[in-house]
Amino acid sequence: MPFNQITQLGTFLLTALAGAERVFDAMDLAPEVDDGATELVRTGLGGWVWQTSDEKRVSLAGDVRFHDVSFGYEPGTTVLAGLNLFAKPGQKIAFVGSTGAGKTTITNLINRFYDVDAGSITYDGIDVRDIAKASLRGSLGIVLQDTHLFTGTISDNIRFGKLDATDAQVVEAAKIANADSFIRPPA
């Protein structure tokens, strides 16, 4: 019995060391650079506008355009080359392709999880590099194809993105996602 316990302790120690190495690697990462000065601000009428550093205001509409975009995760390896596309406000588009075709890369570039190597991406006519990342990411929503539910209630799962959401906000989010009809029992 003592030999088994010592063996288990050795396994636990090696697992802890591997985890600690990953934590220290994450701590050594350089902080994300955010040099965007354009902010998303609420208007007095309840709408939203982009406010540039020179106090110019542009309505939030949702017009996203890729202008001759090239990108690669590794220097010298291009994943996307000369990509031009647009999504007009209210337009529904789909990216379809095999694994590794670049679908997730496109959404990651819009959110500035990565910056383009060449070309530009504009959001309502503003280069995304000029928009503060918090404002940019706060104005976008992504629905991934993989479903991940956590333990807890459906409300807890909906509230996961905003832990302080009220019950009314949770119900409204479910309605916006067209999920309310199958969450609530028929009256």
Where in the chain are the domains? 1-30, 39-138, 154-183
Residue 29 pLDDT class (50, 70, 90 cuts)? confident
Summarize the confidence of residues 55-65 as an average pLDDT.
92
- CATH top class, domain 39-138: alpha beta
Q: Which of 98-102, 109-113, 141-145, 157-161 has the lowest mean pLDDT?
A: 141-145
What's the pLDDT tens digit per position in 44-55?
A: 887 899 999 888
Tell me the pLDDT of the chain averaged across its residues. Answer: 88
Q: With contact defined as beta carbons under 8 Å apart, do 89 and 62 qualify?
A: yes
Could you tell me which residues come within 8 angstroms of residue 54 by beta carbon, excluding any fewer than 6 positions away? Answer: none
Q: With contact defined as beta carbons under 8 Å apart, do 135 and 127 qualify?
A: no
Summarize the confidence of residues 102-117 as an average pLDDT.
92
Could you tell me which of 6, 9, 29 has the C-alpha nearest to residue 17? Answer: 9
What is the share, in percent, of the chain residues with pLDDT greater than 70?
A: 95
Q: Which residues does residue 58 pair with via DSSP β-bridges, in sequence order?
A: 50
What is the four-CA torsion angle of 119, 91, 47, 184, rounded to 10 degrees?
A: -130
The tally of CA atoms less than 13 A away on the side-chain side of residue 128 is 29
What's the pLDDT tens digit per position in 123-177?
A: 999 999 999 999 999 998 777 666 666 778 888 888 887 889 999 998 888 888 8
0.85 surpassed by pTM: no
DSSP 110-165: HTTSS--SEEEEEETTEEGGGB-HHHHHHT-----SS----SS-HHHHHHTTSTT-
